[in-house]
Amino acid sequence: MKLILQGHDYRYAVEQSLLAFFPAERPVYDGDDPHTATVTLTVEGDTARSDTVITAEGRTAHGTASTAVPPSADGCTRERLCQRAVKLSFFHAAQALTGRTPAWGALTGIRPAKVAVSLLEEGHTPEEADAVLRDTYCVSPSRRQLCMECALAELAADRGRTDRDVSLYLGIPFCPSRCAYCSFVSNSVEKSMKLIEPYLEALHREIVSAGELTERLRLRLRTFYMGGGTPTTLSAPQMDHLLALLEEVFHLSALEECTVEAGRPDTITPEKLRLLRDHGIRRISVNPQTMEDTVLQAVGRRHTAADIRRTMDEAAAVGFPHINMDLIAGLPEDSPEGFARSIDQVMAFGTDHITIHTLSLKKGSRISLEGTRLPPEEAVGEMLAHAESVLRAAGYAPYYLYRQKYQSGSFENVGWARPGGECLYNIYMMEELHSILSLGAGGTTKLVDRRQNRIERAFQLKYPLEYIQRPEKIGENQRAFAAFYEAHIPL
């Protein structure tokens, strides 16, 4: 669809609205396209007004939205309010043209709970916040409930926070093979085994300098998360050395939780599990994504459901207090019936944390490149509805959620936990409650100043080889981290 923007350049806001209603369309700004959307924004006095005209399949529809822009609003607030008007006008036009309302209504952002949190922090009651989600954004009842529950969980996690709190992320960008849906920065070991040792040497140097940095800034480490990739791709000695170094250079006395992704059962051994537990790791992630062997094969996993069951038995024997498990709705060759079987089997393990993802068709994934056949949107919606029903009945509650671009059905990813099973790092990272210091290739350091509502990012080098060859970039990121604290959150 050709997008014509007049009076603004809010491309991302309009593109997200486009995908919610027209998932098969892609934004075009030059050339001709029989499908068009003209989105106009005018700001007069203290009012921003947006008008949208959409023409598709020989039909035309109009949408209008206005929002007040207080004269005292700062630049970021004005931008947010103007974007709200733009998104709402597109929503009303698309709703009139298609006759349908997406589950999330006019909300298109990554963090829908932020809207509810802002309303609650302004003094609105949960009932009043729910009414805004219903009346202004046309969010469905089930998504409003998810949003409000996750907002309340975020506010609970935020109690007692200080400006010196940070979380640490450690990236291990290696996997035994690459899944068909994956677009993350990860190298399959079969192609990059020779990079692991030099990568770890560079990472060890960064860990030492980061430890010195956090001590100088007097930061308090609250959560630690090792992700990837698949960290358990490392050998037991490699992981032992890495965790021992972390314990040596960081002050860990204030840690609330330590998590290591052990996502692939084909990388997990009893020796590695015992080693993790000996180093104080209390939470691991075993992420099958599905318990259907045909689906595992379709996405390029080199293990079976039986391997997952073996791994969970081994993890139970070691005695981890918390185990995260992930499933993805909408994978190739899956069906609502198959997904229901996967849910039943994962719940039978007794894990206290299950994340239900919706497949996101990222551009770099093999699924997108090869045009793999996928379950239709209606089937994905059925999978998610069933998951919510059985998880709630079993005592799980949603505590964090986020959405992604090109997500099937414009749905969402939701973390479900039994009481006490919540992964705090997920909340801190996704809802940006404090800074995340990211070490290793492919990660992003988030610098958060809540007092000024300011967030900056420092991107790590994307690929392991770059990370190995350009140590100066590590120094640049750590200097940027220090400068941010010295400028905005001084001692």
* 255-303 pLDDT, tens digit each: 999 999 997 888 999 999 999 999 999 999 999 999 999 999 998 888 8
* 192-220 pLDDT, tens digit each: 778 999 999 999 999 999 999 999 999 99
- The type of residue at 359 is L
pLDDT at site 361: 74
177 band by pLDDT with thresholds 50, 70 and 90: confident
Strands (E), 213-344: 220-228, 257-261, 283-285, 322-329
User: What element of type H or E holds 439?
Assistant: strand 435-439
Q: What is the mean pLDDT of residues 77-105?
A: 95
**Chain CA centroid to CA 136, Å:** 25
Dihedral-angle region of residue 218 (phi above 0 means left; psi in -120 to 50 means alpha; beta otherwise): left
Cβ 305 vs Cβ 296: under 8 Å: yes
pTM exceeds 0.95 for this model: no
* 437-447 pLDDT, tens digit each: 999 998 899 99
**Angle formed by the axes of helices 377-393 and 336-348, nearest 10°:** 30
Question: Which residues, including other chains, have CB under 8 Å from residue 358's CB and lie 6 or more apart?
Answer: 328, 329, 330, 380, 384, 404, 407, 408, 409, 411, 412, 413
CA distance 132 to 110: 18
pLDDT at site 369: 47
